[in-house]
Every structure is written in structure tokens, then in C-alpha cells.
Structure 1
Amino acid sequence: MEDILRPIYQERASQSNTLGVLMVEKRQKSGQTTDSFDVILLVIVKEAEQPLFIKHYSYDDKKASMHVIAEPLLQEWLLLGTNRKIFEWLHDAKIIFDRNEYVANLKTELREFPFYGRKLKMGLEFAKLIRRYVDGKALFESHLFLDAYNHVVHSLHHLARLAVIENGLHPELTVWHQVKQIEPEIFKLYEELVNSEEMLEKRLELLFLASEFLIHSRTNIGAGHLLEILNNKEYWSFSEIMSEKELTPYSVDMSVLIEYLIDKHLIEVVNVETKGQGVFHRCYRTHKKLS
């Protein structure tokens, strides 16, 4: 298989822009890892006009998919978790070409999972968790139980991913398999939600009570990255928070996260005078007890 595909990846490996070439082969009887292809070729390049370029090939009775990925996009995927399959591919891949040990160092970094990367990832998962939890609770209180259920399932998924990252691991596609070993309490909540024969309203009511405790117990670690950044200034306007480079990944979840942390007395509001009488700029700072 590798011999047949060699002319394709050798051409890429010969280019100075190429950092590494990896090959992921389909596991026996399962094409889930490789999106039903027999082989995935990953070509990592320094830069490209098109951050992701995908080409499909046929050979014998098999098929292959080549993904040419610009390094900035790869780093974004790894940081934000927006392409979860990439972790599995990098873990399982055979290194075909490696310029200056780029790929070997990348795999080592993923395995060791530096603490700063964990803090940011926990912050992002926590923000998504709060968004789903708050929206789900509002829908529940409006008696829109099926819509609330959808949000609660997603909130539990983010809680599970947060627990996995907290334990120094990357969340995989089989996150519930991971959580069953690491945090059985969260796994049990998920099982009760999807398998219980109780009325949906009752299931959701019990789950909101139980998950509130689990979320509360992780608030300090989940919000740690955000609070650490906010501690660098006396107070921040919301636009300053959103334009801060280290905080831009929080995106649309930032507003609801800040309001949640105000409720938990971890952030407080600072009213700054405007030219309009009785109208203030609403700014934010970490609670004085944290400073």
C-alpha cells in the first residue's frame, strides 16, 4: 500500500514548505477512524493559500484521502478541539517524512499535554458547558422539555470533556469510554438521563440538581484561565475582553460565562461614568477576594 502511494507523498516531501507526512491506515473491519477510506495521508505544510486541501485517490480496489494542512490551521484544531479526529490521526499515524523532527516533537507535546494548553482547553469547555447549561435550564423553565434535553446532553458532553482534560488527557471521539474510567459519577448521570424510564420532566429536574453540584465543584478550575487574564488589569470593558488575543477563542460563549461568574462572586461589575447622566459603561474585574 505504501509503495503504491509513494510517488504521491514523495512529491510533497521534496518541497521545502512540507514539515511532515503521516499515514493512517484503516483498522481491520472498521473505517470509522479513516472516514471509510483505506488510507489517510496527512501532509503538514508551513503555510498555504488554502489552509486545508483534500484530494481523493483510487488504487486497486481501495481508496485513499490526502489532507494537506497548513500549520496554523493544525495548531488551531489542536488548541480549540474543532477537529477532534486529528488527535486520533496524529496518535495512530505512521511517520513517513519528518523535517527536523517536527512531527516527532508534535506527538511528544500532545502526549505530555503542557499545563498551559490544558488550562485554556478547560476554559473553553467550561464556557461551552455553561452556555448549554444556562440555555437548557431556561428552556426547561419554559416547559420546552425536548429542547432542554438536547442542551443537557450537550452540557454533559462538555462536562465529560472537561473532566478528561482535567485529568491530563485529550478527549477522544470515544469520550464516554474515557469518562467511565476517569469520572464514573458523570458517566452515571449521562446513563440516567438517556436510559431512565422516568418522565422526561422528572429526569431533567433531577439532572439539573445533580449537575449543578458537579459544575460548581469545577468552577474555579474551569474559569481559572479567564480569571488569570482578567487579573492583569484593574477592570475591563467587554470589548477589551473580546479583543484580548488569549481570550478570543471563547467567542460567543464569553458573555454568558461572565454573567455566570458574576453570580458565583468570582467576577464583579465596575460601573464607569459616561457622558450621559445616569448611564455607565459596564466593566468587569476579578472579585477583590481573588486579587
Structure 2
Amino acid sequence: MEDILRPIYQERASQSNTLGVLSIEKKQKSFSSTDSFDAILLIIVREADKPLFIKHYSYSDKKAAMHIITEEQLREWILLGSNRKIFEWINDSKILFDRNEFVAHLKTELREFPFYGRKIKMGVEFAKLIRRYVDGKALFENHQYLDAYNHVVHSLHHLARLAVIENGFHSELTVWHQVKQIEPEIFKLYEELVNSEETLEKRLELLFLASEFLIHSRTHLGAAHLLDILEGKEYWSFDQIMNEKEVTPYSVDLEVLIEYLIDKHLIEVVKAETKGQGIFHRYYKVREKLL
């Protein structure tokens, strides 16, 4: 495979913009890791007109895909976990070209998973968890059990990923395999949800009770990144929080997370008068810790 594709990646490797070239071959029993292709060429560049460019090739009776990705896009995928295959690709890849050991350092970084990177990822995962949990509970209370079930399944996935990250690992495609070993209590909840012979209503009712405890026990850890940022100023408008660069990954889940943290007495609301009688601006600050 490498010999056949060499002319393609050698041309890219000769360009000063290219940071690394990796090859990933299909595992014998796993089509999903390479999206059914026999080989993936992953080319990392400093910058490009598009953050991701993909081209497909055929050779003999096989097929290959070339992915050209900017460093910024790669970092975003790693931070947000929005392309979970990337972890497997980087870990299992063969390095064909590595400028100034960029790829070697990246592999080390992923393996060691620095605490600060974990803190941001836990915050983002916790925000997604709260969104799914709150929306699912509202649907449950309105007797929309099938829709509530969908949200609960997603909330358990986020809870599982949060537990994996908390333990210093990247949450991969096989997150339930990871969780079964790291946090069997969460794995058991998932099993009970999908395998129990109880009615759907009863399963959801029991799960919300159990989830509430597991979420509550992780609130300080999951909210630590956001609270650290908010402690940088006396108080914030929501727009200021939303446009803070480090908060951008929270996206549409930010509002529901802040309301949850208000409910848990970790954030408090500060009211400021407006020109309209009886209406106030709403600001947010980290609640002072009681001694």
C-alpha cells in the first residue's frame, strides 16, 4: 500500500506547509475505523483554504482516502471529541513524514492527556450531559416517554465519557468498553435502561433518580473550567460569557449549564436596573464559597 501511495504523499511532504503524513490501514475485522477504506492517508498542514479536504483513490481492487486537515481543525476535533476516529487514527498510524517531530509530540500529548486539556473536555461533556438530562426530564414529566428515552441514552453516553476523561483517558469509539472497566456503576445503569423488563416509564423514573446522584457528585469537577473563567471578573453578562474564547466550545449548551449551576448555588444572579420600571439586566457571578 505504502509503495503505491508514495507519489501522492511525497508531493505533500515536500511542501513546507505540511507538518506530518500518517497512514492508517484497515484492521482485519474493523471496517468502521477507516470508513470501509483499505487505507487512509492523514496529512496535517499548518493552514489551508479549507480546514478539511478529502480525496478518494482506487488501486488494484482496493480503495484509499486522503484527508488533508489543518492543525487548527485537528486541535478542535481533539478538544471537542467531535471526530472520535481521530484518536484511533493518530494512535494506530504509521508515521510516513514528521516535520520537527510534530506528530511524535502529538502522540505523546494524546497519551499523557495534560490536566488542562482534560478540564476543558470535562466542562464541555458536562454541559452536554446537563442539556440532555434537563430536556429528557422535561419530556418525561410530560409523558413523552420515547423522546425522553432518547435523551436519557445520550445523557448516559455523556456521563460515561465524562467518567473516562475524569480518569485520565480519552473517550474513544468503544466508550462502553472503557466504562465497564473504569466506572461499572454507570455501565450497570446503561444495561438496566436497555435490558430491564420494567415498563419504559418505570425504567426512566429509576434512571433519573440514579443519574441525579451521579451528576450531582460530578458537578464541581464538571463545572470547574467554566467557574475558573468566571472568577476572572466580578460579574458577567451572558453575551460576555458566550464570547469568551475559552467558552466557545460550550456552544448551545451554555445557557442550560449556567441555569443548572444557579440552581446548585454555584453561580448567583446579579440584577442591575434598566431604564424600564421593574425590569433588570441579569448578570452572573461565581457564588462566594462559605467558610
TM-score of the superposed pair, with normalisation by structure 1: 0.99
- The reply to whether residue 91 of structure 1 matches residue 91 of structure 2 is yes
Matches within 5 A, 1:102-121: 102-121=102-121
CA distance in 1, matches of 2:173, 2:65: 20
Q: Secondary structure at the match of 1:191?
A: helix
Query: Unpaired segments of 5 or more residues in structure 2?
Result: none
Give CA deviations for 1:84-127 in whole Å, capped at 9, x if unaligned: 11111001100000000000001111111011100000000000
Matches within 5 A, 1:144-163: 144-163=144-163
Matches within 5 A, 1:146-185: 146-185=146-185
Q: Secondary structure at the match of 2:32?
A: coil
4+ residue runs of structure 1 moved beyond 2 angstroms? Answer: none
Give CA deviations for 1:220-247 in whole Å, capped at 9, x if unaligned: 0000000010111111110010011111
Count of residue pairs brought into register by the alignment: 291
| Corresponding residue for residue 123 of structure 2 | 123
Give CA deviations for 1:132-164 in whole Å, capped at 9, x if unaligned: 000000000000000000000000000000000
Instruction: State whether residues 52 and 68 of structure 1, in contact with CA within 8 Å, keep that contact through their aligned partners in structure 2.
Output: yes
* Paired letter, 1:126: F
- The reply to whether residue 210 of structure 1 matches residue 210 of structure 2 is yes
Q: Percent identity?
A: 81
| Corresponding residue for residue 31 of structure 1 | 31
CA distance in 1, matches of 2:138, 2:40: 43
CA distance in 2, matches of 1:95, 1:217: 42
| Corresponding residue for residue 9 of structure 1 | 9
- The reply to whether residue 138 of structure 1 matches residue 134 of structure 2 is no
* Paired letter, 1:54: I
CA distance in 1, matches of 2:200, 2:219: 27
Q: Secondary structure at the match of 1:288?
A: coil
| Corresponding residue for residue 235 of structure 1 | 235
Instruction: State whether residues 20 and 103 of structure 1, in contact with CA within 8 Å, keep that contact through their aligned partners in structure 2.
Output: yes
* Paired letter, 2:193: L
Give CA deviations for 1:155-192 in whole Å, capped at 9, x if unaligned: 00000000000000000000000000000000000000
* Paired letter, 2:140: F
* Paired letter, 2:51: P
* Paired letter, 2:38: D
Q: Secondary structure at the match of 1:223?
A: helix
CA distance in 1, matches of 2:172, 2:141: 33
Q: Secondary structure at the match of 1:22?
A: strand
| Corresponding residue for residue 193 of structure 2 | 193
Q: What is the CA distance between 1:28 and its match in structure 2? A: 1.3
* Paired letter, 1:151: H
Q: What is the CA distance between 1:30 and its match in structure 2? A: 2.2
Q: What is the CA distance between 1:276 and its match in structure 2? A: 1.7
Q: Secondary structure at the match of 1:122?
A: helix
CA distance in 2, matches of 1:130, 1:32: 29
| Corresponding residue for residue 259 of structure 1 | 259
| Corresponding residue for residue 269 of structure 1 | 269
Q: Secondary structure at the match of 2:242?
A: helix
Q: What is the CA distance between 1:290 and its match in structure 2? A: 6.7
TM-score of the superposed pair, with normalisation by structure 2: 0.99
Give CA deviations for 1:20-73 in whole Å, capped at 9, x if unaligned: 000000111322211101100000000000111101111111110000001111
CA distance in 2, matches of 1:248, 1:50: 20
- The reply to whether residue 82 of structure 1 matches residue 82 of structure 2 is yes
* Paired letter, 1:274: T
Give CA deviations for 1:185-225 in whole Å, capped at 9, x if unaligned: 00000000000010000000000000000000000000000
Instruction: State whether residues 266 and 290 of structure 1, in contact with CA within 8 Å, keep that contact through their aligned partners in structure 2.
Output: no
